[in-house]
Structure 1
């Protein structure tokens, strides 16, 4: 269940708290989680073999490794970055709009929809749901990145000109707050995953060495069945409810049904990720 929760929540957590792209978040999640599990299980088996532990010492090893893993994992929640303002979510369009509503007088004529999430960062250091909600009227590619011009909702901030002398109002992607704490987060998370994975091999060895030889196959079969069942069956139901709890802004279709969650509540996401 821990592995599944990391696959579900960690990419969203990285996107929300460290403002990285969904692609980078997915890559980081896969690399650090899988490498941590592989390295931890291998080292856990080597440590038990080299130290020739009996079952009592293996249990002590499990308790210590679990405690250190939990401590390191909790430390990750003290590592965070300052989040940028989000128009309509945390910012009210310079008092012209309402928090919780992406529509404001500056973008009403555009007829914007929330069916596609395409964030842009304005020169005012405010993030917008899409170019439409920023009131942008023109766009072109600039150094492999889209730049937007004549945005009616963007009034403040320094203006920079492109190679053709046109002033850029916004660029595609989330706003970069200049946070350099992501390596520290993964240092804690990767180490916590390793210590957590130390427990896998010793726990299986304890089960094998605690039953008569004729019962070893039955013991492993029963243990792994219960293990997989309790980890796989409740998790989809629990994760679906947890994602609903962490969502801050939904895409709602014509029938009033929630379709996609575009923006997550950082505090709820941190709490849910920590408890899972």
Structure 2
């Protein structure tokens, strides 16, 4: 039986494939989403200035941005690829579909005569279109060539599904999923950019809403509480619970040289999509719920006369200085909330 090969373990710059793919994916998302977020924040501020939106209008714009971003997130559920056919994990050695988190499924009758390690990850692609974790687990008896051009022959597990002896060979590297996945990835990137822009448009109105609804002597304290809440409730715990949720979808864990669990080698694609997007939608639902509550409170405390004055100002196109607009808007919301103490900035 062939010893476990080390081909395919490293890529350029000696980075493991699992890490390089993850880094590449995050780099691509960051490069295309950060400009979209910046442009969305700028667009939100431009809309506020162009249409002279008051506090109630800012709440509506923030809610609308969250709602349309929520709908775009729903469309991402349909953008995904099926799991790769990996013997012992996503398919059995006889080709039937299965999902197993137990590494005992890696061993079968076809490789029972081999002394293989379940911790190795050196995938090869059989001519039957199924990926095997290593040449040993594929039951390969001989090889030819070196490096990436290595070809394995007489693979007993590969030959189960093929009648000819020629079809019992395999090459280095996992099998490709097909032509649909690269196209689906491009669609995912496009929708991701649009979603990031849509959600960012409501960022500036939401921040202005926070400033205009607070008494002048409490603005600094309110901004401190807001920043603390964002860090404590989102910035710090989010990587933890997202990481835990993603780890539940791992089918094959790697192992470190000094012992212990390493990086995940293979995820359940469908479960990963549902867990990641589902958790995002739950948080988005909570955000929309609070936005609706804020809008309802503002509508309840604002008077019809205030809305009429605001509409007439937009219709007649009165030209005022920027400072006067902010003063009048702050004065309007302050006299609505605290009529006993009218204070101008």
Query: Shared fold by TM > 0.5?
Result: yes
Name the residue aligned to 1:216.
219
Greater helix share, 1 or 2?
2
CA distance in 1, matches of 2:135, 2:52: 63
Deviation at 1:32, TM superposition (A): 3.2
- The within-5 A match list for 1:152-231 is 152=155, 153-155=157-159, 169-179=170-180, 180-231=183-234
For structure 1, list consecutive stretches of 5 or more residues without a partner in the other structure: 1-14, 162-166
Larger Rg: 2
Which secondary structure state, in structure 1, belongs to the residue aligned with residue 110 of structure 2? coil
Q: Quickly say closer, same or farther: Cα 1:50–1:111, change in 2 above 3 A.
A: farther
Cα deviation digits, residues 59-96 of structure 1 (max 9, x gap):
11111111110111110111223443211112221279
Name the residue aligned to 1:104.
108
Q: Which runs of 4+ in 1 moved over 6 A?
A: none
User: What is the root-mean-square deviation in Å for CA atoms of aligned residues?
Assistant: 3.6
User: TM-score normalized by structure 1?
Assistant: 0.74
Deviation at 1:126, TM superposition (A): 0.8
Greater strand share, 1 or 2?
1
* 1:89 has 2:89 as partner: yes
1:127 pairs, out of 118, 128, 131, with: 131
Contact 1:72 1:192 in 2 (8 A): yes
Which secondary structure state, in structure 1, belongs to the residue aligned with residue 172 of structure 2? strand
* 1:61 has 2:61 as partner: yes
CA distance in 1, matches of 2:30, 2:146: 31
Name the residue aligned to 1:72.
72
Name the residue aligned to 1:8.
none
Which secondary structure state, in structure 2, belongs to the residue aligned with residue 45 of structure 1? helix
CA distance in 2, matches of 1:40, 1:195: 7
Contact 1:126 1:175 in 2 (8 A): no
Deviation at 1:47, TM superposition (A): 2.3
- The within-5 A match list for 1:18-37 is 21-37=21-37
Contact 1:114 1:251 in 2 (8 A): no
Which secondary structure state, in structure 1, belongs to the residue aligned with residue 90 of structure 2? coil
Deviation at 1:263, TM superposition (A): 2.3
Contact 2:124 2:170 in 1 (8 A): no
Name the residue aligned to 2:143.
138
